[in-house]
Structure 1
């Protein structure tokens, strides 16, 4: 039922205004009785949360659940559902008012003037949703291609980047409900299941519509040209002598089609959009390996609007021995304390010859099995895993085979264990941020989250201004994790982000604010106590904790030494006294940064020894993060990592009697193709993501620690067949997911990227700094350093980098749940990727070879 009410503007200002709803009554002026819920719907120029809804002179405890849909940066659809404590029915008296607060932190929009146009949108209903919808009727003609008659196509209704999809089959009519307003309409083409027939879908009439409450808007669709193509299922069998080689494959159909890719023996790939007809020629570059030349003979195939299967095996390979009389004997000089009776591969690569050798893991000299051709070679070695532990293999980048002194020096050292308390000990797993919205359980379950994380406390910053009595964030995060693991039948670790000092704004004066330190220490103790309440036989590790994001990075930026004075002892003792804990501080807890760090570590290990925890570092601790763009080689990433690892070591973060379990490495919490990223020089292409993970690997190697990339965006770069709005900010596009999870549809061809993204001009969008770093457009960014290939997932190598888990997302960043500003972001692509991953995860299996 629709209610009557009086609207009064209360406080009015640039940054804050309020609206009071009073004299709430039924349409016949009688008193309102609420059996289930009271709902307010309105449009707002700013975001609204449940804290903005206040109740005046109500005699019960009421809660408000806010559903927020962002239409544009200054237009939000807001639905507020109000219920009483224990879902009791209640009556609204004449003096019961509701106050809605509107906050504009920057003054843009100016609420003293911007609020007035929205007052007429307020509707109030009891026990029913407000009637704010109009009907859209969609009708399609039959398909002129019989094979596509039962194939549905998508219709998208867009408001400032937010999309609402519907699906319809040719020859059918479908109706849908949309909130009243203006929409842009777009459609997908019809595509056959094998991808070889595409039928252009057309909108008959205007593609911009106005949906009116209670009325029906009609749309008609027809079809245009038919586009036919062929596709290829390509595979290479297990070629025993070339099992570790990467083969360069080229496909061509006359001069109209060329495509190149790489594939290892034993792998396969599906390729689409080849010409409809023609003769397909396949070329594979010859391989010269260990003084043998391997050449490939592949027949020609006929295309005829179908899928061609090409399966190559050893019968397609010819082997020829190369002259080697004047070649030279070379030996490996291995330096290690490890002796495990296994071997690892070593490769020497030049422009005309490659040598591969399995080196036994034992200190001493070992000769190559064949003599080597004189010349300069690149040395390729890689880390290996044995007994779920990473071993670091290092050598000079180049090696020259000459007449004398032919000893190739290689070192092997034991590094990080991939078995971390509380996390999966058998394979690489993924987790995500939660904002505790109603849809989080569904998404985190569908995307197979192994952990969820949220900021602890009330303000998420350690709450330095108060002592908290209850940590609702931790309680609710644990409860959500338990629900997800019940659905998945596997453990889900709740991870809290906790501050005992908040330096995210760079204010190092906080290090000496004893009152703030006391409050935050006490609130951290509360989080630990809350975690311990949920320990049981099924959850021996009840919670994980990442402590003090940005603290180490800020201290490093300001070059603060380990003996930088802080009021640690008194602050920590006061926090313990607040909770009536009579625990003596160990000698390691001193009044300086090093003692402060030991105090945090001691708290966890003493008060909550079953909790798993780690500290966090940043890319910008070395003074800035733009080194990541100087990535033609790995040199800058390795240098930054070593500087940061050295600083962490000087502070003794991972030494002493209370050593943490892991180290989290933050990128920057924003999707790459959004304003927060590219304006702040955090817009990465494949080259930059590679540099980031090289940094992670080197940090792990230097500190011998397992590492967790944290707050990584899960956004992807859209392809030509994706629906991309002209203003795509709210769609949260990015690049990390293509790189990390792999995207064969993008592959190595920049032209596969949607033109709205590919041709986006950085300098025309307040990001001129990006031009100097990566080029004028995302197209240039993707083509840095000779191009890219994201056909295969990068995560396959992560365990060898010391990475045992990744945490995706953030409050305003796409992760395993939609970002808070756009709950309608399409999660289908990610759900498919993570569902496929759990079927064949990357294990911590031994990667060493038998002798």
Structure 2
């Protein structure tokens, strides 16, 4: 039964409301709801269950279910279903529905302008359909049995239709859609035809017909080759890169690197002439492998070509003057795993497998031919722990059968299995406490949600914080609500200041005992709240990242570990205020190192089950110009000798210096103490290190005007820094507050840059094949942003120049090697920076949510 009702809107800029009353049947029959009432409508923002109140007479307990889909920036299609809580009939008891909408922006249309979108029904779906009539021309010859795919997109909604030749009708929900159609082609790609639509935008009106014409270009014919490599696991070339060459009439046209188990399809090849598929010879471990060529006619047919062991010939490749090789392994620990070693020169290569990860000497039976061999070092992850495999020398010169020795050093690095986080590379997002956060975070299937602690988000250093103003319990509840929706664990993470050096005036703030007392006390309060929410399902109730900018400022200033800071007295007062009756250990002194150890100890005493990380910045070495190119600073603090000196900084050195400083001041040091029960105990240091680039989206003024606008080259160097930091710390690293904004392609509309938050972080992390490796694929509005003159030596004059200085490729995600860099988790977004919540940049956050959701289907695991 279709219904009608009276709508009474009350307009408010940010939270307009609506009262719906006077329900009646369109057919004039009486209302008798047996199962459900359904409402469909559009709104200028999201609506949650908490925004809806249904009045009944007589009173009935009701359930509401909301489905929403963003159809354009900040505009949502919403379906509300109302049922009785006990499944009984509702009859005509619903007297009023009151609802409010969380408006997406102050420029959004008034809700009342969507009055005509409201449709109501009882015990059936609302009738909102119009009719799309597709008039399709006859399919070209050779494509008569091919399915045509017409795609209609309205915001997040998409619908795939399959029109046939002639007139075909489809029932489509009312609204405006963009229409596109895929090329018509056979499954094997040998026949194809371009398809044209009479319009790319369709407006479907409820109860009305809308026409669409489809025509075809003449069919084009071609040949298709599908190349496969099928070798058994025991074959010597099974794990080798094979260089596959496609020749057309004797001329090389394409070249690919393939391995066993892979396929490569070549389409739109000519229909006359001949082809040849060849594989370059491989000389491996003194055996010369040749592969029979696969030849045939280019004939408008599909050819499946498979390389098998039957086509591979082998002969000896032992050379005069070959040398014996000894591999000496120095392993820091014996690990029940094996590693490989590969030596490569222009003519041949050697691959030694199953070398045990333990100290010992190995003499392969294979002799090395004369040559100059490159030996690559790398990492291996076993049981969640990163192991660095370094080889010396990295270039081996073999001459005149002189015996050679390689020394392999195996060093243990970070344990990527950090408590509270998944056993795979995972992602988290920033919450801003908007009602839509839970749905957005659940849609993205995030593994953590973070929010600044306290009332002001900066330590609340002016007084003891009212418990009602501490958001920790709310964020923990939010994380658990997200988890309830996804069925996956979600860790709440608070970002807490116990000393806020982000404000400047570093020497004054760090020396203020009253500020320390209040911030310590407010930190204790948040810790106690988190610990109180531990239960069997949540053994790690929360995480804390402490003191953004603190380490960076201290390192930049060159503060030594014994730099004087008031610690014990303010810490004691803060503990007394919250009834923490544990003696402060002697190892916590009135120094910088004492302060850091005091923060760590406090966490372990007050909230032993939370996970703890400190934060450090890219600019801690004195600036972040080195991200763009190696940069020389006059006064970089050297943690080894405690002096400032002139240094040229690159990512590896920046990471090393930051790690050395963090270790110097005790970030990961243990502290012995006596518990309240009189028993000796040890408080461990931090569990991980968080790394902050700068949280603004690249193509907003607050980013590029401050010298932060990255191309993939700069992002590469940022994560090179993370790798170096993790290696020298031997601790896991969490890139934090990373901008998740993306680039726009030339086919997208770009409006006001300061409102749309475009950038590169999301495109880099998750891959952006629509951009690929082409500067010309980026929307020109984004390429022509004018940088400040002061930054042109680093960044160029505009993004066009920035992106043109180095080769890059967005085709694939960049997170694949993050675990080998010591990275176990990435948190994206910020209070005003694109992450995954629609309340902060709906455009890119929607894109990021879809990418992260898909990622969870096949996450990157932490080794064997």
When the two structures are superposed, what TM-score results if normalisation uses the length of structure 2?
A: 0.72
Please say if residues 257 and 274 of structure 1, whose CA atoms lie closer than 8 Å, have aligned partners that are also in contact: no
Cα deviation for residue 654 of structure 1 reads 0.9
> Within the alignment, does 1:701 sit opposite 2:721 as a pair?
no
Please say if residues 153 and 187 of structure 1, whose CA atoms lie closer than 8 Å, have aligned partners that are also in contact: yes
Match of 1:410 in 2: 408
Match of 1:428 in 2: 425
Alpha-carbon distance change, 601 to 813 in structure 1, aligned in 2, over 3 angstroms: same
Alpha-carbon distance change, 764 to 21 in structure 1, aligned in 2, over 3 angstroms: closer
Alpha-carbon distance change, 414 to 285 in structure 1, aligned in 2, over 3 angstroms: same
Please say if residues 810 and 819 of structure 1, whose CA atoms lie closer than 8 Å, have aligned partners that are also in contact: no
Aligned positions of 1:290-305 closer than 5 A: 290-300=285-295
> Within the alignment, does 1:784 sit opposite 2:803 as a pair?
no
> Within the alignment, does 1:246 sit opposite 2:241 as a pair?
yes
Q: Paired residue for 2:857, among 829, 832, 836?
A: 836
Alpha-carbon distance change, 362 to 765 in structure 1, aligned in 2, over 3 angstroms: same
Please say if residues 708 and 805 of structure 1, whose CA atoms lie closer than 8 Å, have aligned partners that are also in contact: yes
Match of 1:652 in 2: 666
Q: Distance in 1 between matches of 2:44 and 2:492?
A: 35
Match of 2:214 in 1: 222
Match of 1:609 in 2: 608
> Within the alignment, does 1:750 sit opposite 2:769 as a pair?
no
Q: Distance in 1 between matches of 2:364 and 2:752?
A: 56
Q: Distance in 2 between matches of 1:153 and 1:302?
A: 35
Aligned positions of 1:513-524 closer than 5 A: 513-524=512-523
Q: CA RMSD in A?
A: 5.5
Match of 2:452 in 1: 455
Alpha-carbon distance change, 616 to 774 in structure 1, aligned in 2, over 3 angstroms: same
Q: Distance in 1 between matches of 2:850 and 2:145?
A: 23
Q: Distance in 1 between matches of 2:517 and 2:660?
A: 29
Q: Paired residue for 1:820, among 821, 840, 843?
A: 840
Match of 1:262 in 2: 257
Cα deviation for residue 406 of structure 1 reads 3.5
Q: Distance in 1 between matches of 2:279 and 2:805?
A: 24
Q: Paired residue for 2:737, among 711, 720, 732?
A: 711
Alpha-carbon distance change, 477 to 301 in structure 1, aligned in 2, over 3 angstroms: farther
Please say if residues 325 and 364 of structure 2, whose CA atoms lie closer than 8 Å, have aligned partners that are also in contact: yes
Cα deviation for residue 600 of structure 1 reads 1.3
Please say if residues 245 and 278 of structure 2, whose CA atoms lie closer than 8 Å, have aligned partners that are also in contact: yes
Match of 2:60 in 1: none
Please say if residues 750 and 781 of structure 2, whose CA atoms lie closer than 8 Å, have aligned partners that are also in contact: no
Q: Distance in 1 between matches of 2:383 and 2:159?
A: 50
Match of 1:502 in 2: 500
Please say if residues 495 and 546 of structure 1, whose CA atoms lie closer than 8 Å, have aligned partners that are also in contact: yes
SS of aligned partner of 2:368 = coil
Most deviating of 658-667 and 584-593: 584-593
Q: Paired residue for 2:311, among 308, 311, 316?
A: 316
Cα deviation for residue 536 of structure 1 reads 1.2
Please say if residues 194 and 307 of structure 1, whose CA atoms lie closer than 8 Å, have aligned partners that are also in contact: no
Cα deviation for residue 702 of structure 1 reads 0.8
Q: Paired residue for 1:468, among 462, 466, 469?
A: 466
Most deviating of 545-554 and 144-153: 144-153
Alpha-carbon distance change, 491 to 772 in structure 1, aligned in 2, over 3 angstroms: closer
SS of aligned partner of 2:748 = coil
Match of 2:550 in 1: 551
Most deviating of 164-173 and 493-502: 164-173
Cα deviation for residue 529 of structure 1 reads 1.6
> Within the alignment, does 1:154 sit opposite 2:173 as a pair?
no
Match of 1:393 in 2: 389
Kindly provide the CA deviation profile for residues 567-597 of structure 1, in whole angstroms up to 9, marking residues without a partner as x: 3334333333332333332223333332221
Match of 1:664 in 2: 690
Match of 2:655 in 1: 641
Q: Distance in 2 between matches of 1:233 and 1:832?
A: 32
Cα deviation for residue 220 of structure 1 reads 4.0
Structure with bigger gyration radius:
2
SS of aligned partner of 1:806 = strand
Aligned residues: 770
Q: Distance in 2 between matches of 1:399 and 1:756?
A: 43
Cα deviation for residue 379 of structure 1 reads 1.9
Q: Distance in 2 between matches of 1:828 and 1:258?
A: 39
Kindly provide the CA deviation profile for residues 434-492 of structure 1, in whole angstroms up to 9, marking residues without a partner as x: 44555544454454433333333344333445513136633233223334434544433
Cα deviation for residue 613 of structure 1 reads 1.2
Cα deviation for residue 322 of structure 1 reads 2.5
Kindly provide the CA deviation profile for residues 13-56 of structure 1, in whole angstroms up to 9, marking residues without a partner as x: xxxxx99999x9999xxxxxxxx9xxx99989xx999xxxxxxx
Match of 2:479 in 1: 481
Alpha-carbon distance change, 770 to 310 in structure 1, aligned in 2, over 3 angstroms: farther
Kindly provide the CA deviation profile for residues 223-248 of structure 1, in whole angstroms up to 9, marking residues without a partner as x: 45367775746445346323443333
SS of aligned partner of 2:551 = helix
SS of aligned partner of 1:584 = coil
The answer to which structure, 1 or 2, has the higher relative contact order (CA under 8 A, 6+ apart) is 1
SS of aligned partner of 1:240 = coil
Alpha-carbon distance change, 323 to 453 in structure 1, aligned in 2, over 3 angstroms: same
Please say if residues 229 and 307 of structure 2, whose CA atoms lie closer than 8 Å, have aligned partners that are also in contact: yes
Name structure 2 gaps, 5 residues minimum.
23-36, 49-65, 81-93, 121-127, 632-647, 672-683
Match of 1:142 in 2: 136
When the two structures are superposed, what TM-score results if normalisation uses the length of structure 1?
A: 0.73
Kindly provide the CA deviation profile for residues 180-204 of structure 1, in whole angstroms up to 9, marking residues without a partner as x: xxx9956454566959477655554
Match of 1:30 in 2: none
Cα deviation for residue 604 of structure 1 reads 0.7
> Within the alignment, does 1:366 sit opposite 2:362 as a pair?
yes
